[in-house]
Amino acid sequence: MRFGIMIVPEDRWQTARLKWRQAEQMGFDHAWTYDHLNWRAFRAKEWFTLVPTLTAAAVETERIGLGVLVASPNLRHPVHLAKDVAAIDDISDGRLILGLGAGAAGFDSTMTRRTPWSRSERTERFAEYVELTDQLLTQPVTTFDGRYYLANEVHSYPLCRQQPRVPFAIAASGPRGMRVVARHASYWVTTGEPNQFASAPYEQALPVLRRQVEALEKACVEIGRDPSTVSRLLVTGPTVGGVLDSPAAFFDAAGRFAEAGITDFVVQWPRPDEPFQGKVEVLEKIAEDLDRHRIT
């Protein structure tokens, strides 16, 4: 099991930098942030965007993997995303993980367009979005003429520090999304029950996770890919709760998730109020024992 931490981009940098440094010092394998313009309960609060946040985090840290969960078609064209990704991967000396998802019908989908895309259109756009992003990050020059996206002789210099490109962490739950994961992803990402934002005890998520892992493995087999080459990353907090109640709960959850096929276990940085209310002191206690439970 590998362990990660999600840091909500709500703090001014003098405070936020301490969290990113502390995440590395605690021994977490990777640290992540969200990619939204506004998000749920944080809409009227301070909120900073992905690119400057991860750029600054790359400068403040040396070892820890850095990622976004998740970039989506809601916010930017693949050409703009790919240029930013290559830059952050260079600044971080090859530590970036690019999380990608289809997006949802939240604030991001309504602030810059009159009519939000339907779920079906988001799914179709996403497959093309990932395909073009992959090409932009692996080819010096890309021309692409798709149903939704166009790239005309886009020169990608430099390419990623990591070769052939940064690893993709792709969020998916349905059959079409799982096929995208099987084709392109180093990590499959889940938050448990899809289309839900209500935290429940972590034990309740296990049947859902097992079914999703089976669907992932089936999608891999169908295209001739070894399912073991895809890591399985669970983000707790939005739907999977109770994991930061105590160190005992954390490691019990980690063991149960591992048995269900999860390889990477991500928790939210505890906040003083909801969402993700908790105690940093519990996180610090957990960090003291991470090495004993880590499997690389």
**How high is the pLDDT of residue 141?**
98
Q: Which residues, at least 6 apart from 144, have a Cβ–Cβ distance to it below 8 Å?
A: 131, 132, 135, 150, 151
**How high is the pLDDT of residue 36?**
84
Tens of pLDDT along the chain (296 residues)? 999 999 999 999 999 999 999 999 999 999 999 998 877 778 788 889 999 999 999 999 999 999 999 999 988 899 999 999 999 999 999 999 999 999 877 777 677 777 888 888 889 999 999 999 999 999 999 999 999 999 999 999 999 999 999 999 999 999 999 999 999 999 999 999 887 767 899 999 999 999 999 999 999 999 999 999 999 999 999 899 999 999 999 999 999 999 999 999 999 999 999 999 999 999 999 999 998 877 65
**How high is the pLDDT of residue 62?**
98
Determine the distance from the C-alpha atom of residue 193 to the mean position of all C-alpha atoms in its chain, rounded to a whole number. Answer: 16
Residue 11: how many CB atoms within 10 A of its CB? 17
Query: Which 8-state DSSP code applies to residue 206?
Result: H
**How high is the pLDDT of residue 127?**
96
**How high is the pLDDT of residue 198?**
72
pTM of the full structure: 0.95
Q: Which residues, at least 6 apart from 120, have a Cβ–Cβ distance to it below 8 Å?
A: none
Query: Which 8-state DSSP code applies to residue 169?
Result: E
Q: What's the half-sphere exposure (Cβ side, CA atoms, 13 Å) at 293?
A: 25
